[in-house]
Amino acid sequence: MNKGICHFCGLEKELIKSHIMPKCFYKLDEYGPITLYKPNSKESFIGKYQNGLTEPLLCASCDTRIGKYDGYANKLFYKKLPELKPVVKDGKILYLFTPKNFDYQKLRLFFVSLVWRASISSERFSLGKKYEPMALKFLKQGFMENDNLFFPIIFRKNTGTGLDFMSSMYGRKLYGQKACVFRSPNYEFIIVTNLEKCTDNNAIAEIKTRCSEKCLIVEEQNTLDRYDFKLKNVLLQCTATKN
Ligand SMILES: [Zn+2]
């Protein structure tokens, strides 16, 4: 056991090995030890993790407190969504949730907890001095005060390639704004730090319709996007170097 200051309660306690990305999202039972793509890391790009990526960040009670959002999101994306019948709109395959079948605040707090954990970990992604304390504040009070912050854009990946099953976490820019991307089997979650600061107003308006008190829209992607191609190339290079 590790003694240290818990990032959540601020007290000196025994710290447990917290999962930065929830363990249930790796789907270890189905896919075995994961390959985690870490593009910004100084260490090797690909690591094998039996148990997911962990670090001593929180005391047991704070880890449990945040963990309730993990369980909720896991159920929503891996149980409820596959049971939905997708709709096709403007050539896009969409999964729609209404307030009847999703809890907006719980879902938003799940994404806040994801980026916050990534930010306080030793991984290269950081929310910075302004946004990291805000994320912690939202988690402590249990509701979002500003819907533009830590905004999630969610894709269900069904491209028929190995990229659909990767687990990964990395920072990127989206419309000029910082975002943290989490990938787990069948999903890509892009969490934009501050949607209001994005440079494209039309894009912001469209993105906002995807997650609100009124509905949640998850788009299915059947083809690789520009970023997927980039990932694919890096992964191929890593494999080549390792062999
Ligand atoms: Zn604590």
Ligand 1 centre and the CA of 55: distance in Å?
14
Q: Is 169 strand, coil or helix? A: strand
Residue 56 pLDDT level (bands cut at 50, 70, 90): very high
Ligand 1 centre and the CA of 10: distance in Å?
6
Question: H helices then E strands: how many in the chain?
Answer: 7, 12
Domain ranges for the chain = 2-242
Average pLDDT over residues 142-166: 93
- Give the residue, 50 or 44, on which the prediction is more confident: 50
pLDDT digits (tens, 9 = 90+) for 203-241: 999 999 999 999 999 999 999 988 888 777 777 776 666
Do 182 and 189 meet the contact criterion of CB atoms below 8 Å apart?
yes
Ligand 1 centre and the CA of 68: distance in Å?
15
> How many percent of the chain have pLDDT more than 90?
67
Ligand 1 centre and the CA of 217: distance in Å?
34
For the question of whether the overall pTM of this predicted structure is more than 0.75, the answer is: yes
* Amino acid 49: pLDDT: 67
pLDDT digits (tens, 9 = 90+) for 73-130: 999 999 999 999 999 999 999 999 999 999 999 999 999 999 999 999 988 889 999 9
Cα angle value 120/79/104 (rounded, 5°): 55
* Amino acid 5: pLDDT: 97
pLDDT(242) > 90: no
DSSP symbols for 82-127 = HHSPPEEETTEEEEEE-TTT--HHHHHHHHHHHHHHHHHSSSS---
